[in-house]
């Protein structure tokens, strides 16, 4: 009988390739089906509140763990570090849920986790973009810019700010998942 041992890093890109689509699918499915939820006025993080909040909390944690597990499979020195930081931020965002009303210590922690996640994803997209040429470089920079603009618009209180933030976050996470999928 012959056995083939997997290299320790063989599953890393797969974990990262799954993280973005999983987080986006679970988040958008909840946004579409949760009574009273309006993505143009409420951020996806608000899904972590209420009786079904455990779904989004688990979504953050699972996507974060997959991101952490897959980060080291990325090329270069900085991209893995930045994606690792984003994964840690996602886990923290799940462990420290957003407040529906008011601001508690865990709500502040959630905002800090979001800041770490978004800044790391933006930087990772730009760093990865420098490794590519042509279309892939453009797509990488566009994904980072989508999150930068979406987050900035949301923080400035722009109309449909939570929607622009969601689009930007999903674009950046999906792009990093695409990069990881190509490495498998």
| pLDDT tens across the length of the chain (184 residues) | 554 444 445 588 999 999 999 999 999 999 999 999 999 999 999 999 999 999 999 999 999 999 999 999 999 999 999 999 999 999 999 999 999 888 999 999 999 999 999 999 999 999 999 999 999 999 999 999 999 999 999 999 999 999 999 999 999 999 999 999 998 8
Q: Which domain holds residue 169?
A: 13-30+38-183
Indicate whether 19 belongs to any domain.
yes
Q: Supply the pLDDT for residue 10.
A: 59
Structural domain contains residue 115:
yes
Which structure tokens are listed for 108?
Answer: 């502040």
Does residue 105 form part of some domain?
Answer: yes
- Is 124 within a domain? yes
> Could you tell me if residue 5 is inside a domain?
no
Look at residues 57, 128, 55 and name the one whose alpha carbon lies nearest to residue 95: 57
Q: What letters, b where the CB count within 10 A reaches 16 and e where it falls short, cover 58-95?
A: ebbbbbbbbbbbbbebbeeeebbbbbbbbbbbbbbbbe
Token pair, residue 127, equals 């760093």
CA distance 72 to 121: 15
> How many distinct structural domains can be found in the chain?
1
Q: Is there a domain that residue 3 lies in? A: no
Give residue 8's pLDDT. Answer: 47
Q: Is 161 inside any structural domain?
A: yes
In a domain, residue 2? The reply is: no
What integer pLDDT is reported at residue 6 of this predicted model?
40
């Amino acid at each position: 009988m012959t056995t083939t041992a997997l290299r320790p890093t063989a599953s890393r890109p797969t974990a990262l390739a799954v993280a973005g689509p999983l987080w986006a699918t679970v988040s958008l499915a909840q946004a579409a089906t949760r009574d009273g939820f309006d993505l143009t006025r409420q951020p996806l993080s608000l899904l972590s509140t209420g009786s079904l909040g455990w779904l989004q909390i688990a979504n953050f944690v699972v996507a974060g763990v997959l991101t952490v597990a897959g980060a080291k499979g990325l090329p270069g020195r900085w991209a893995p570090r930045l994606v690792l930081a984003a994964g840690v931020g996602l886990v923290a965002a799940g462990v420290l849920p957003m407040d529906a009303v008011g601001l508690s210590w865990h709500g502040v922690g959630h905002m800090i986790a979001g800041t770490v996640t978004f800044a790391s994803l933006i930087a990772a997209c730009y760093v990865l973009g420098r490794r590519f040429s042509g279309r892939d470089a453009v797509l990488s920079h566009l994904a980072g810019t989508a999150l930068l603009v979406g987050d900035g618009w949301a923080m400035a209180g722009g109309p449909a700010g939570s929607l622009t933030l969601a689009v930007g976050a999903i674009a950046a996470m999906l792009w990093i998942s695409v990069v990881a999928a190509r490495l498998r």
